[in-house]
Amino acid sequence: MKPIKTLLPFSRWLLRILVLLWVILRNLEVIQGMNLENQHFYIALALVIFSILLFAGGFSSKPGLTVISALFLTLIFIYKIYLGFVPQVNEQQVISFVFLSISIYFMSSANK
């Protein structure tokens, strides 16, 4: 059976929307707390900013914005995995790996 290639742009937009919604819903409370002395505030703020830029990059004909924002999202998710690393696999690590893989996907494919 052949793949349905016409669904590829739709699935890319779903991934962009998923990243944006998940990051905003997950980090909105931390950002609203505005604790400037907490490291988690800056991580949450960077996640929100770069996920918005990843979404906005989909509207651009050039891949630069998508690639740069996906690169920073990749680095942030790697850092989050490093911060929350425990020898046993937990839910937060799995979610971070899923979003790490989505970020790497956009970094490698951009706006095809």
pLDDT in tens, 86-108: 787 788 888 989 999 999 999 99
According to the model, what pLDDT value does residue 85 have?
A: 74
According to the model, what pLDDT value does residue 105 have?
A: 94
- Nearest to 99, CA basis, from 84, 8, 31: 84
According to the model, what pLDDT value does residue 65 have?
A: 93
Q: Which residues touch 71 (CB under 8 Å, ≥6 apart)? A: 103, 107
Residue that the structure tokens 């997950």 belong to: 26
Residue that the structure tokens 């609203």 belong to: 32
Task: Say how far apart CA 71 and CA 50 lie, in whole Å.
Answer: 9
According to the model, what pLDDT value does residue 13 have?
A: 94
Exposure string for 41-69, b = 16+ CB within 10 A, e = fewer: bebbebbbebbebbbebbeeeebebbbeb
pTM for the full predicted model = 0.88
Confidence of residue 45 (pLDDT cuts 50, 70, 90): very high
Task: Say how far apart CA 100 and CA 96 lie, in whole Å.
Answer: 6
Average of per-residue pLDDT across 39-66: 93
Average of per-residue pLDDT across 28-54: 92
